[in-house]
Amino acid sequence: MKAAHALRALRAVAGREIHSFARQPGRLMSALVRPLLWLLVFAAGFQNVFGVAIVPPYETYIEYRVYLAPGLLGMVALFNGMQSSLAMVYDREMGVMRLLLTAPLPRWWILACKLLGGATLSLAQMLAFLLAAWIFRIDLEWRFVPMALPVFLLSALMLGALGLVLSVYVKQLENFAGTMNFVIFPMFFLSTALYPLWKLQESGAWLVHDIARFNPFTHAVEAMRFALYGQWQWDSLAIVAGCAVGFFLLALWGYDPQRGAQKRGPPAAA
């Protein structure tokens, strides 16, 4: 594979994702309305549960809305990863994926281009959410946002790769809504997006605490949370990177046309 061909494929595949998003401004609005409602409405009620301030790992007291913001960044990336997966299912039904996978380029590069396009959209939406949070006077450490951008991108890649895996096993668009409910809501609620691990441990919710510890989404949120305060959470970053690679390899295996041909068996004799 020549570099010029690889770049042309990246521009075509990832550019298609971005252009499709640009033609649908309602997607950006829906991507922002959901986390902003949680930030402004849900946080007001939850402060009464946790108290006015929460003690995060930074040894400082901050408002619950500030604690919640990285979790909602993860929500933005999670929903966009699932929407990218939905687009993959649609492309497969329309025959677009078959054309892409038969292109004279490595299959892993075609899927990587799809993943990079979706992750770029996730990163843009996350930045738009941060801008909206600033408008609503969420007091984050803005000087650390440039440092946090690679962490945002890594988290978006992991969740996008998870979406690729789901698109392998969801055969029809009609089945996708149920699959999303079994993935998005458990990943989000059984994580530290809304409440810290120490609070779960303190309240005796041991099962939720143990599940949240092993939830990849928890580590994505924690990595972003620490990065927004100028710290690297190396354990979480390693887990997120490992999950991103693992999910991508599973998707690559699932989209193997040779494996699909072997599974279907040889054609019947005339």
What mean pLDDT is reported for the chain?
79
Q: CA-CA distance, 216 to 214, in Å (whole number)?
A: 6
Which residues 6+ apart lie within 8 Å of 176 measured at CB? 85, 86, 89, 170
With a cut of 60, say whether residue 9 has pLDDT above it.
yes
What six digits make up the tokens of 183? 């993935």
For residue 97, give every residue at least 6 positions away whose Cβ sits within 8 Å of its Cβ, in sequence order, or none.
88, 91, 255
What average pLDDT does the segment 76-103 reach? 78
- For residues 217-224, average pLDDT: 94
Q: Is 207 helix (H, G, I), strand (E, B) or coil?
A: helix
Q: What is the pLDDT of residues 147-187, one digit of tens each?
A: 899 999 999 999 999 988 888 877 766 666 677 778 888 89
Q: What residue type is assigned to position 71 of the chain? A: G
Q: Are 140 and 68 in contact, with CB atoms under 8 Å apart? A: no
pLDDT band, very low/low/confident/very high, at 44 (cuts 50, 70, 90): low
Domain ranges of the chain: 3-257
pLDDT at 211 over 60: yes
Give the side-chain half-sphere CA count within 13 A for 71.
21
| Residue 255 pLDDT exceeds 60 | yes
Q: What is the pLDDT, as a whole number, of residue 173?
A: 65
Instruction: Return the top range by mean pLDDT from 26-35, 41-50, 182-191.
Output: 182-191
Max mean pLDDT among 72-81, 86-95, 215-224 falls in 215-224
Residue with tokens 């390899």: 249
**193/12: higher pLDDT:** 193
Between 142 and 219, whose confidence is greater?
219
Query: Once rounded to an integer, what is the mean pLDDT over residues 77-100?
Result: 79
Query: Does position 113 have pLDDT exceeding 90, yes or no?
Result: no
Q: What is the pLDDT of residue 257?
A: 64
Bridge partners, 60 (sequence order): none
